[in-house]
Structure 1
Amino acid sequence: MMSKPTIIAQISDLHIKAPGKLAYNKVDTAKALERCVAELNALEPRPDLVVISGDLVDTPTPGEYEHLWRLLAPLKIPFIGVPGNHDARDMMRAAFPDWAYAHASGPLDQARTVGPLDVILLDSHVPGKPYGTLETATLDWLDATLGSSKERPALLFLHHPPFRTGITHMDVQNLHNAADLAAIVRKHPRVRIVAAGHVHRATLTTFAGTAATICPAPNHAVDLDLAEIRPPSFRVEPPAFHLHVWFPDGEGGHLITHQVPIGEFDGPHPFFGADGKLL
């Protein structure tokens, strides 16, 4: 029998506004999060942890974080988060005082042990700026945290992608010191994935010799404009999130990332009839 997998759900870019307010006068991000929470709660098997990879709120204000808390209250899975460029560290620390932050002040870095995995959240927030950087305190902490083991697989989460996507107006606001992160990832091969947000699109590449992804959003998607044809724009596309599933096996284990759509869809339907024949 296959060993039980460890499942980390990643949701990103919630952009919660004050009650009744729409993002960009168009998108009801609160309703989008409600649907996302319902989808997470319905998963079987249920994830072991939900990671929110930034932009939890939109403006930000304490009222938005209060609204976010109310929307997350029905979630039946433990969750942690890291700030994005739309967040504020002090407000977020006050809204989620029970999270085990690595520093008494400054970056809201976190590490969580989940079964055989080390889940590591890196704060790339730069106050007042859309782009990201990892401060020296974060880089030093990450190096030490990864250095605490050579065996345990580690999953890294942050808001700003440390790579280009080809969407120019987003690429200028990615992680500006990605080379510093790359040096640490290469030093510690137990890192199995670098998972980001920010771009509201499912994206896959490699970074510093390991898998790297961007998580889609539960609300709206950044326009896939690879030729700078249009001004910075968004589309309302099918919402989704990522499931990072760790399977232990004789080769040391392997990680698979699934994209999960949010919404009501037809099925599931059997492939085979009662007689065992393909329908």
Structure 2
Amino acid sequence: MTLIAHITDLHLRPRGLPCYRVSDTNMLAERAMAALRALQPRPDAVVITGDLTDRSDPREYAVARNLLARLDLPVFIVPGNHDSTDDMRREMDAFLGPVNANTGKICYSTDIGDIRLVALDTHMPGKPTGEIGKDQLLWLQKELSAHPKPTLIALHHPPALSGIAHMDAIGLIDAPALAEVIQPHAHVERLLCGHLHRPIISGFAGKIMTLAPSTCHQVVLDLTENGPAHFNFEPAAFFLHRYTQETGTVTHTAYVESYPGPYDFFSDPGVTWPGDDAT
């Protein structure tokens, strides 16, 4: 079995500064790290699909390094629109795989147990939208052709539309080109994405796209045509991707906070149901 924890959109800030005036993202990230450390069985790795920082500030990367070093797990990251490719390469090199320098992007592949992780960089300097680009797509095509092992592709901007209009407007601009590259490759098990701060599952190019919720604030679920850009504090969560040869990749939602329980299942006194032990 291979178990990969997928978290996203931490939006870390310099110590003492909230995000958007009210979101204590550093505290919420601490809670997420505690939840990851408590997992049994332990994940084989943690994948973070971008927006590790809120403003690509060196102080924010310092907070990130401190948090991730205490996980005592392999961690692999890609940049989001709030990060920076150059800054992340300089500040977070210990959490990157062997980067392919020929693309000018943070793209790499690595083996995690029975799974191959392919990381893509969709950051566009100064823009909220995302782009993979021709060089990275060419590299991806060669990578997928050369390695037929079950594969997860990690990128920040989701290629499929969600119906949340203000977020779809800042999505991946070359999604059709990505679809053309990955569609023929049956060993692509999942696309791991972030950006939308909501748990969303969708089909894309004959694959399954898993868009993880944020470890901090969530985007309000508003499927109206011109819904405003709002966030709230719905429960923070992350995904666990469990792979075995028998099942392929199965994705579970894990919540950051603790809740009452666990409790045994049992009937009221004197009441039996089919399957109960009546003795």
Q: TM-score range by the shorter chain?
A: over 0.9
CA-to-partner distance for each residue in 1:111-164, whole Å, 9 max, x for gaps?
A: 1101111111110111110010111121011111111133x1001110001011
Which residue of structure 1 aligns with residue 101 of structure 2? 103
Secondary structure of 2:239's counterpart equals strand
Tell me the amino acid that sits aligned with residue 203 of structure 2: T
CA drift of 1:60 comes to 1.5
Which residue of structure 2 aligns with residue 243 of structure 1? 240
- Of 169, 180, 184, the residue aligned with 1:183 is 180
Which residue of structure 2 aligns with residue 47 of structure 1? 43
Cα contact 1:14–1:218 (8 A) shared by 2: yes
- TM superposition score normalised by structure 2: 0.92
Tell me the amino acid that sits aligned with residue 105 of structure 2: P
Tell me the amino acid that sits aligned with residue 42 of structure 2: R
**Separation of aligned partners in 2, 1:247 and 1:148:** 22
- TM superposition score normalised by structure 1: 0.92
Residue correspondence of structure 1 range 85-124 to structure 2 within 5 A: 85-98=81-94, 99=96, 100-103=98-101, 106-124=104-122
Tell me the amino acid that sits aligned with residue 15 of structure 1: H
Cα contact 2:120–2:154 (8 A) shared by 1: yes
Which residue of structure 1 aligns with residue 146 of structure 2? 148
Taking a change above 3 Å as real, the CA distance of residues 227 and 175 of structure 1, as seen in their structure-2 partners, is: same
RMSD: 1.6
- Of 166, 170, 174, the residue aligned with 1:173 is 170
- Of 252, 256, 259, the residue aligned with 1:258 is 252
Cα contact 1:122–1:157 (8 A) shared by 2: yes
Cα contact 1:30–1:71 (8 A) shared by 2: no
**Separation of aligned partners in 2, 1:55 and 1:149:** 28
Runs of 4+ in 1 over 3 A off after TM superposition: none
Larger CA deviation: 227-236 vs 15-24: 227-236
What is the percent sequence identity of the aligned residues? 40
Counterpart check, 1:35 vs 2:31: yes
**Separation of aligned partners in 2, 1:230 and 1:163:** 19
5+ unaligned residues in a row in structure 2: which ranges?
268-275
CA drift of 1:228 comes to 4.3
Secondary structure of 2:143's counterpart equals helix
**Separation of aligned partners in 1, 2:71 and 2:22:** 25
**Separation of aligned partners in 1, 2:249 and 2:46:** 16
Which residue of structure 2 aligns with residue 6 of structure 1? 2
- Of 263, 268, 275, the residue aligned with 1:269 is 263
Cα contact 1:196–1:213 (8 A) shared by 2: yes
Which residue of structure 2 aligns with residue 195 of structure 1? 192
Tell me the amino acid that sits aligned with residue 134 of structure 2: T
**Separation of aligned partners in 1, 2:146 and 2:227:** 47
Cα contact 1:218–1:262 (8 A) shared by 2: yes
**Separation of aligned partners in 2, 1:47 and 1:179:** 33
Secondary structure of 1:66's counterpart equals helix
5+ unaligned residues in a row in structure 1: which ranges?
none
Tell me the amino acid that sits aligned with residue 120 of structure 1: V
Taking a change above 3 Å as real, the CA distance of residues 236 and 156 of structure 1, as seen in their structure-2 partners, is: same
**Separation of aligned partners in 1, 2:171 and 2:191:** 14
Secondary structure of 2:101's counterpart equals coil
How many equivalent residue pairs?
268
Tell me the amino acid that sits aligned with residue 262 of structure 1: V
Secondary structure of 1:194's counterpart equals strand
